[in-house]
A and B are shown apart, each in its own frame.
Chain A
Amino acid sequence: MGALDTLLDHPALWRGRSATPAPDAPVWPSGHAELDRALGGGWPRGQLVELLGAPFGSGETRLLVPMLTACGQDDYWIAVIAPPATPWLPGWQTLGIPPERVLLIRTEHDRDTLWAGEQCLRDPAFGVLLAWLRRPVETALLRRLRLAASESRACAVLYRPPDAAAQPSPAHQRLRWQAAAAGLELHCLKGAGHWARSGQPLWIPEAPEA
C-alpha cells in the first residue's frame, strides 16, 4: 500500500482523473500546514465537508477558526445554522472573526437546517457554512446540499453525530474527529486525496494562543 502511494504521488506519473484537487482550486486556509497538505491546500470552497464526532465542544469548532477568520476578513458571510449552543461572538471577535458577518439561524428540524443551508449556499454572499445535524437524514437532502455546495464558492461544513459514519453520504469529504491529548485527531473517511487512501489519522494540536 505504501509503495503504491509513493508511486501515485510521483510527479512523473500522470493520472487521467486527478486524485488531488487542482492546485488552483479555491480553498480557505486551515491554519495548519499538515492539514492543508492533507486537504489539498486547505478547506475546500465549493465542497461539502462532513465532520463526524461527539461530544460537542471538544475543539471541533476551534479547528475551523483560521478558515472563519479568512472568510470574514474577505467580507464573506458565515452562516451558523442550528448550533447546539450560542456563539460567543466577543470570543470569535478576539480571534479575528468579524461578528457582524455571522448570521445565526435556528431551526427546529434537521430538514429545515438542510434547507436553510442550501439557500445560503445559493447566495454568493456566504463564504462558510456551519450546520449541525442531530439525527440521520435522507440522502436525497444531503445530495441537494452537495449540489448547492459545488455550485457555490463557500465551504459547507456539516457537523454530524459519529454514528452517521455508518450511513453513506454524498459529501465530498468526510472526516471523523476525536478529542485527543491537547488537540484533535482527524480520520479521513472519504476524500479524493492521498489521506483518504492512507487511512492514517492526523493529529491537530490545539492552537497555542487558545
Chain B
Amino acid sequence: MGQPARPARAATPPEPARQQLSLLPAAPALAPTPRPPEARPASSARVPREHWMAIELPHLALEALARAEPDPERLQRPLLVVESGAIPRVHAANRAARRAGARPGMALGDALAVLDTPELVEHDPDALRTQLEMLAGVLLRFSDHVHPEPEVHRILVEVGRSRRLFGGLEALRQQAQDTLAGLGFHPRIGLGRSPAAARLLAHLRNPAIAEDPETLRRLLTPVPLEALPLAATTREGLRAVGLRQLGDLLRLSRPELARRHGPELLDLLDRLLARRAETLPRFTPPPVLDLSLRLEHEIHATTALAFPLKRLLRQAEAQLRGLNRSLQGMTLELTHREARTRLTLERGQPGMRADEWLPLWQTRLERETLPEAVIGLRLRASRLLDPPDRGDSLLAGDPASTPPADQLPAVLARLRARLGEPAVTRLVNRRTPRPEEAQGSRHDLAVTPAPVAPTPGQRTVGAALWLQGPDPATPPDQPQWLGRLEDGWWDHGQDARRDYARALDRQGRRLWLYRCLRSGQWYRQGYWG
C-alpha cells in the first residue's frame, strides 16, 4: 500500500522553527504581502485579549463516514445519513444526493422518492460526539481553552493568547483549517472577540476579523436577523415590527428592546458585541488514547487495512500532539462479527508520528491471517509518555555517535513486527541453580532489567558459552572438573547433585558436561566454546 499523494501541508504540525521565527519582529520579511491589521506591532504590544475561533463542522456525519471508506467511488453515489425515529429523517446527504434534491431534515420517504437507490447509513450521535471530542483534543495544540459543542457540531477555541505564537489570527485560522483537512474534515471557521460573534461569523462563512468594538459593530450591522440563534417567537415578533438586520436592533434603545422582546435578546446582543463575558468550560481530553473506526465495508485482506489504519494513526498523531504526549506501544483491535483479534506493537523508542507507525503495523499485519472479515478497528494505548526531545532523531541518524545507553535500538519494533514478538528477546537471569532453568526470555523490552550478577552457584558451573539440553552423553575421556552443583536437596526425589566438567570430544567440540552423582550418568549441558 503506497502512500497516496497528499497536500504538502496536510496534518503536518507547525514546524517549531517557523513558530520561533514568527515570534521575531523580522517575520514580515518572510511574508512581504501586507499583513492584516492585527500583526501590527502596536496591536501586538497590547495585552492579549480574548479572541475566539468557532469551528463549525457542517458535514461532520459525512466526513466521519468518508474517513472509514477506502473506496472513494462509493462516495460519489447518493448517500444519506438517516436519523431513526417515528418518521425517519435525513440527517445529512452527500453532494450527489443533494444534487438530486435530498436535503437534511427531509423525511426519508420524500428523499427516497427523488433518489435512485441511495446508500443509507444510520445516524449515530454518540459516534459523532466522540469524533468531535477527538477533534477538540487535536485543537488543543492551538490553545489550552477548547470547548466542544457536540449538539451543533461546533468547537470553540480561545486564541487570544496564542495568536502571536502562530503568526496572527489569519495564519492561525489557516493552520487550524489545514490540520482538520489533513484528518478529512472541512470546517467553517469564524473569528470574533466573543464566542457568540465567532459562532455567528462561522455560520455566515464570513472570514472578516474584527479587532475593535467599532469594526465588530460595522461587521454585524448587515447580518439578517434570521441568522441569529433566537427563539422562533422572538424572531416572529421582530419581523412583525419591521426589523430585518442586526443593525436595526443595535440602533434601538436597550430598555425598550428588553421590555418588548425579552431579556434574552439583550443578552444575545451583549454577548455578540463582547460586552458581556461568556464563560465556557474547558475541555480536558482523556489521558489515554482510544480511537475506533467502524468500517462500512467488511475487509477480508490485511493489506486492505492499511487505509483505515492510516487514518487512525494520523488521528492518533494529531491527538498526541494536542496532548503533547508520545507513546511506545499500542494495541490494535480488529473487530469481527463475532470475535476480535488483538495485536500489540512495541517500539524501542517512543514516537507519535503516523508515518513511523504505519510501516510497522503493515509489517505486523502481513504476518496475520484474518480469521474473519474485519468490520471495525480500535487503536488503544494506555501508557502515554512525555514526548522525546527533538534532538534524538538527529543523533540517531549519525552512526559515528555512540548509542545512548538507556535507549533500546529502534530496529526492535521492525524485527518484532516481522518475526513475531517471542522471536526477539533478551534473556534474564532467574538466579536459580540449574542452568537449564536459570534463564528466562524477556519480551517486554521497554524495561531494561536490572543487572543481575551470576550467583555463586552459577560461577561454580563455569563460564560456558552455550546452553543446550541436558542430553545424555557418553563419559568423556579427560574431563576437566569445574565444580559441584547441589540443588533441590529439600525436595525429595527432585534433588540434583551434579559435578560439572568440560571436555573435548573426538570431533573437536568443547563440551560442557555434568555427571549426575545419583545415577553416575553423564549429561551434556551445552558447549564450552
Contacts and interface: CB of A to CB of B under 8 A. Distances in A.
Interface of A: 55-63, 65, 74-77, 83-95, 98-100, 102-107, 112, 115-116, 119-120, 122-126, 151-153, 178-180, 206, 209-210
6 contacts: A58-B507, A59-B528, A86-B467, A104-B427, A106-B419, A116-B419
A135 B128 CA distance: 57
Nearest to A101: B426
Contacts of A153: 399-400
B419, B422, B453: residue with the most chain A Cβ atoms closer than 10 Å: B419
A61 B466 CA distance: 9
Contact of B427 (A55, A89, A95): A89
B527 A179 contact: no
A88 B410 contact: no
B500 to A, nearest CB: 11
Interchain residue pairs A-B with the least CB separation, the first 10: A179-B508, A57-B527, A59-B529, A125-B409, A90-B454, A123-B411, A85-B466, A94-B463, A62-B529, A125-B403
B405, B441, B529: residue with the most chain A Cβ atoms closer than 10 Å: B529
A99 B508 contact: no
Given A85-B527, A119-B411, A153-B399, A210 B463 contact: yes
A56 B427 contact: no
Contact of A89 (B405, B429, B511): B429
A152 to B, nearest CB: 6
A201 B223 CA distance: 96
B464 interface: yes
Given A57-B509, A58-B529, A100 B426 contact: yes
B409 A75 contact: no
Contacts of A95: 463
A57 B427 contact: no
Contacts of B423: 105-107
Size category of the binding interface on chain B: 35 or more
B506 to A, nearest CB: 10
Contact of A124 (B399, B449, B464, B528): B399
A196 B292 CA distance: 62
Interface string B163-203: 00000000000000000000000000000000000000000
A133 B271 CA distance: 76
Interface string B218-256: 000000000000000000000000000000000000000
Nearest to A182: B504
Contacts of A209: 463
A134 B425 CA distance: 21
A123 B410 contact: yes
A123 B424 CA distance: 15
B409 A85 contact: no
Contacts of B396: 124
Nearest to B450: A100
Interface in B128-160: none
Contacts of B459: 90, 94
Contacts of A151: 399
B398 interface: yes
Given A57-B509, A90-B435, A210-B463, 16 more contacts: A60-B529, A61-B529, A62-B465, A75-B403, A88-B465, A90-B463, A91-B454, A94-B463, A99-B428, A106-B419, A106-B422, A120-B409, A124-B403, A125-B407, A152-B399, A210-B528
A73 B439 CA distance: 22
B418 interface: yes
A103 B409 contact: yes
Given A74-B402, A152-B399, A61 B465 contact: yes
B510 interface: yes
A85 B441 CA distance: 14
Contacts of A76: 402-403
B466 A55 contact: no
B426, B441, B511: residue with the most chain A Cβ atoms closer than 10 Å: B426
B442 to A, nearest CB: 9
Nearest to B459: A94
Contact of B510 (A59, A65, A90): A59
Contact of B462 (A75, A91, A103, A152): A91
B415 interface: yes
B310 interface: no
A193 to B, nearest CB: 24
B409 A88 contact: no
B468 interface: yes
Interface string B440-461: 0100000011010111001100
Nearest to B409: A125
Contacts of A62: 465, 510, 528-529
B401 interface: yes
Contacts of A179: 507-510
A125 B410 contact: yes
A27 B435 CA distance: 33
B51 interface: no
A119 B414 contact: yes
A86 B439 contact: yes
A103 B394 CA distance: 24
A85, A115, A125: residue with the most chain B Cβ atoms closer than 10 Å: A125
B464 A88 contact: yes
A105 B510 contact: no
A87 B399 contact: no
B329 interface: no
Contacts of A115: 418
B403 A77 contact: yes
B186 to A, nearest CB: 40
A89 B440 CA distance: 11
A103 B368 CA distance: 24
Given A61-B529, A107-B419, A99 B465 contact: no
A89 B419 contact: no
B426 A103 contact: yes
A55 B523 CA distance: 19
